[in-house]
């Protein structure tokens, strides 16, 4: 059985070349082929003969030729594959995930607005691809100054490489936890698990009014920790060599994850399942905030397919 490739999406931008470097390391560690893909966008209504002309030749693609030159002298290269495609990038990129173990791209590509920290193509791939999507940010992204994210500043971080993962204790995603443990094992890194809980709790007292719930915060935190430890236990059993640091705290999960992204190697978050009244794929607000603000590369992991 052949090993699925790691796919790096490139467009000649510095962002995509940083993603290429990340993907190269990932392919090495997984002993997987590295497939470098360039999607050339076109306006279908302006080029009616595009589909009939067939796919473009990867040997005549200037962006891929630059990548070949860049990788020519790289030591310990994985098997390299090159693919040129044409179409709407936001539609083509997610489709590549059906035949990949990872899809890696930069936080922005060519044509993006300078004010956006994640382009629409990256958001579409993270939302729709069938495999985990890695978004590699620009270096030097400041944590704690971005609008709309209450960044936790007291997240303890010990020495050495870290992989960070978010764990929602009331609805954990097993795919996300499994991916995070596997990544930590591959990297010889500690796994930094962040589990946030809502505080203060509130309930409806009268129409239009909220009242605090008379519950002890220590009890809520202890219950959250107990639930989290229970969900982590089977994954610890599969990866006994991975050291796990569990951080439980009140407040905004996205803020704590962004805070924990400082000096982390990777932040792992899950993607929402399909809902009954919203059958299309979705991304939760926490995942979107982490993609927009984290200082480290972010892995967005799709959930297990639902059956029935």
Domain residue limits at 263? 162-301
Is-contact 30 42, C-beta < 8 A?
A: no
Confirm whether 250 is domain-assigned.
Answer: yes
- Output the domain CATH number for residue 56: 3.40.50.620
Ranges of beta strands (E only) in 110-256 are 133-136, 162-166, 190-197, 202-204, 210-212, 244-250
Q: Which two tokens stand for residue 188?
A: 């010889």
**pLDDT the model gives residue 35:** 97
Give CA–CA dist 260/264, Å, rounded: 7
159: burial class by Cβ within 10 Å (0-12, 13-18, 19+)? Answer: exposed
Question: DSSP for 155-171?
Answer: ----SS-EEEEE--TTS
Provide mean pLDDT across the span 237-265. 94
Q: Helix %, strand %, coil % for the chain, to 5?
A: 35, 20, 45
The number of beta carbons lying within 10 Å of the beta carbon of residue 149 is 20
The pLDDT tens digits of the residues spanning 265-307 come to: 999 999 875 444 444 456 788 999 999 899 999 999 998 765 5
> pTM here?
0.84
**pLDDT the model gives residue 111:** 46
Give CA–CA dist 249/263, Å, rounded: 20
158 — pLDDT class (breaks 50, 70, 90): low
| Domain termination site, one of 136, 170, 196 | 136
Q: Are residues 114 and 205 part of one domain?
A: no
205 — pLDDT class (breaks 50, 70, 90): low
**pLDDT the model gives residue 50:** 45
Give the 3-state secondary structure of residue 260: helix
Closest C-alpha to 165, from 29, 30, 303, 298: 298
- Domain count within the chain: 2
Give CA–CA dist 238/240, Å, rounded: 6
Q: Are residues 294 and 176 part of one domain?
A: yes
Q: Are residues 192 and 96 part of one domain?
A: no
Q: Which of 20-29, 103-112, 193-202, 248-257 has the lowest mean pLDDT?
A: 103-112
pLDDT over 60 (residue 163): yes
């Amino acid at each position: 059985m052949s090993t699925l490739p790691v796919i790096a999406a490139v467009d000649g931008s510095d962002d995509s070349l940083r993603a290429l470097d990340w993907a190269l390391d990932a392919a090495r560690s997984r002993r997987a082929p590295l497939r470098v893909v360039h999607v050339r966008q076109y306006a279908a209504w302006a080029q009616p003969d595009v589909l009939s002309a067939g796919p473009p030749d990867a040997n005549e693609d200037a962006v891929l030729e630059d990548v070949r030159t860049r990788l020519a002298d790289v030591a310990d290269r994985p098997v390299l594959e090159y693919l040129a495609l044409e179409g709407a990038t936001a539609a083509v990129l997610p489709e590549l995930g059906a035949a990949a173990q990872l899809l890696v791209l930069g936080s922005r590509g060519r044509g993006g607005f300078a004010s956006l920290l994640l382009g629409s193509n990256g958001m579409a791939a993270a939302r729709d691809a069938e495999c985990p999507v890695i978004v590699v940010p620009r270096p030097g992204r400041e944590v704690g100054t971005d609008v709309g994210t209450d960044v936790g500043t007291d997240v303890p971080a010990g020495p050495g490489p870290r992989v960070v993962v978010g764990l929602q204790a009331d609805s954990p995603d097993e795919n996300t936890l499994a991916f995070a443990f596997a990544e930590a094992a591959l990297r010889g890194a500690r796994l930094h698990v962040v589990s946030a809980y809502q505080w203060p709790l509130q309930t409806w007292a009268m129409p239009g009014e909220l009242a605090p719930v008379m519950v002890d915060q220590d009890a809520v935190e202890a219950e959250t920790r107990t639930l989290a430890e229970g969900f982590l236990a089977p994954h610890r059993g599969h990866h006994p060599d991975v050291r796990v640091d569990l951080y439980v705290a009140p407040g905004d999960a996205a803020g704590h994850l962004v805070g924990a992204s400082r000096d982390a190697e990777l932040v792992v978050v899950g993607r929402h399942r399909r809902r009954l009244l919203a059958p299309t794929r979705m991304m939760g607000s926490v995942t979107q905030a982490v993609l927009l603000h984290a200082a480290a590369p972010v892995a967005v992991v799709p959930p297990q397919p639902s059956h029935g």
